[in-house]
Amino acid sequence: MTAKTLTYKILENHLVSGNLEKNQSVGIRIDQTLTQDATGTTAFLLFESMDIERVKTDLSVSYVDHNMSQFGPENHNDHIYLQTVAASKGVYFSRPGNGICHQVHLERFGKSGATLLGSDSHTPTGGGIGMLAIGAGGLDVAVAMGGGAFYLTCPKIIGVRLSGVLSDWTASKDIILKLLSILTTKGNVGCVVEYFGPGVESLTVPQRATVTNMGAELGVTTSIFPSDEQTRKFLAAQDREEDYQPLAADEDCQYDEVIEIDLSKLEPLAACSPSPDNIKTIKSLSGTKVSQVVIGSCTNSSFTDLMMVAEVLKGQTIHPSVEFAIAPGSRQVMNMLAQNGALADIVGAGARILESSCGPCIGQGFSPADGTVSIRTFNRNFAGRTGTKNDNVFLTSPEVAVIAALKGEVIEPQKSGIEYPKINMPRKFVVDDNMIQAPLLLKEAKKVKILRGPTIVVPEAAKKLPDNMNGKVLLKCGDKITTDHIMPAGAFLKYRSNVPEYSKCVFNCFNTQDKPTFAQKALELKDKKIGGIVVASESYGQGSSREHAALCPMYLGVKMVIAKSIERIHKANLINFAVLPIEFENGADYDKINPDDELEVKNINDAINSADSITVKDKTADFEFACSLKLSDRDRKILLAGGLLNYTKSK
């Protein structure tokens, strides 16, 4: 009998289509789904369009954790819609204020050995309790809620062998920062990271979840830890021991690649602007003045993280040059800090207490001043993500962040003169699910009226690609274009439920005052029946799973993306909305293309149907170049049908 990795054991247990052979497309059964309000409105509008009475998963949860600022009616309109559609369709609803989806799901719903599909790129947080948890676009999640399989490329498995034990002031955040320094944020599409080795057993579930959460920045499909005694203790403390089962890879299984990390040799690290893989040691950054510190996000806002912070702050005062805030990951965490007095220690030191929500991590307030350093315990520091242009963000552990808040500068925490507080996992968490509305019985659900405010607009359906296309290059961009570049978050998030309005923001980071915006140029081409084309270099579409980065360009008439490489979730979203994603066979051809060049592509649908490459002619520069069509059979059918929604309806 062949020895198996943990990933392949779970895939095998959920396989509904295809064979578990490397690089082959397989379909798996999805046990659980999650959505959040920034992606959930679109996901549920698309789910409604499928005319399915009730979700068919074991469990689906709709969270409200992103758009909490509520400047104007848009956010609250979304919340009311999500609450009523959840009641109508048999979905759990986590109300505003209950916490960040990944933290709450880990606490209250995650299940060892189960599959979880979420319309948020940090869904792999669930890998911390041995789930196969994958981020995807909202349309893929809507299909899964309707009982459809989720399709992925059978992955390459990167084994990360952990040995040793973390030393004082070194944190689990440093594990994933170290791995980012090795693998970087690109080149890992189609991979899963699987942790194993003797060092695993020393890590608690919250520590593991920090690692799997920020594993999304690697660009991998997901990350996973074994389910062991640490997992059992965590679930038992949440009164959910029945959701535990022991799971691990076979001892003699073969990984495609093995990376060794000795926990005892790690030192505190930081990811510096403008990318999570720009890793530097805290030692090398020592002395850097800091004006803002924020501890929170789905990466580092657990009870144990914040108890450590509270112990360090007890009887202390934040440095006068620092604005400091914490955002507990869930209402459970907030309640426990309040009940044991730790919240008073944090407030007493001068911290500002933010909502249990995503908040500053997605540019919803707390933007740093110009020319200053902001230390954050978050997972992303893409340029401008904070809401400040040319921001300078260090992503660190809470251990590094809290010392910087006290000292006003970056300091190696082990040299701070402060004793490291040992924080133990609680034997029992405070369980209060009053802010989670359970699904109604079908009889009652049928009586629910779904409320859609005037700011909620049903998205325009995708259309089939033409056989022949005359297109124009609307934008030529470089490496590592993120979905934040394509569709900004922050103050613009409130338009997520109104595609025509939100589409005005596409690529607004590249707009200049003296020229038409990307949206204006694209709509002008659309009116003339000319296809819009985006040309990019490596790792196009990394970052958030936001499907609006495909949906809004599609609405503007973008028909094709040509890049040296395209990241997994974004490529799937492009296909789902019938935007053709192709990749240069010769990277040098990228250099020959200029903005506004006219491109011609013939026999598009014939190529999609059966070819592995397609020829593009640059009529302006008068040359032809070949592009590869890296598509599964199912991808081809979706594109030929005019997108996933049309494909699903036809079936």
Q: For residues 46 and 40, what is the distance between their CA atoms, to the nearest angstrom?
A: 10
Nearest C-alpha neighbor of 324 from the set 374, 267, 388: 374
Q: Which residue has the tokens 């809401």?
A: 387
Contact 4, 252 (CB under 8 A): no
SS3 call for 287: coil
Nearest C-alpha neighbor of 346 from the set 299, 307, 378, 376: 307
Q: For residues 390 and 384, what is the distance between their CA atoms, to the nearest angstrom?
A: 6
Q: For residues 442 and 446, what is the distance between their CA atoms, to the nearest angstrom?
A: 6
How high is the pLDDT of residue 602? 96
C-alpha neighbours within 13 Å on the C-beta side of residue 521: 21
Q: Which residue has the tokens 């192709």?
A: 582
Residue type, 640: L
Q: What is the dotted CATH code of the domain comprising 272-415?
A: 3.30.499.10
Sign of CA dihedral 491, 215, 141, 225: negative
Q: For residues 417 and 405, what is the distance between their CA atoms, to the nearest angstrom?
A: 14
pTM beyond 0.85, yes or no: yes
Please indicate whether the domains covering 6-265 and 272-415 agree at the CATH topology level.
yes
Q: For residues 10 and 227, what is the distance between their CA atoms, to the nearest angstrom?
A: 12
CATH topology of domain 469-650: Aconitase; domain 4 (3.20.19)
How high is the pLDDT of residue 560? 97
How high is the pLDDT of residue 95? 97
pLDDT, one tens digit per residue, over 489-518 is: 887 888 889 999 999 999 998 988 888 999
Residue 235: Cβ-neighbour burial (10 angstroms; 0-12, 13-18, 19+): buried
The DSSP symbol for 524 reads H
DSSP secondary structure letters along 473-488: EEEE--S--BHHHHS-
User: What is the residue extent of each domain of the chain?
Assistant: 6-265, 272-415, 469-650
pLDDT beneath 70, residues of the chain: 1
Nearest C-alpha neighbor of 89 from the set 135, 57, 64, 63: 57
Question: Is 6-265 a domain of CATH 3.30.499.10?
Answer: yes
Q: For residues 179 and 232, what is the distance between their CA atoms, to the nearest angstrom?
A: 26
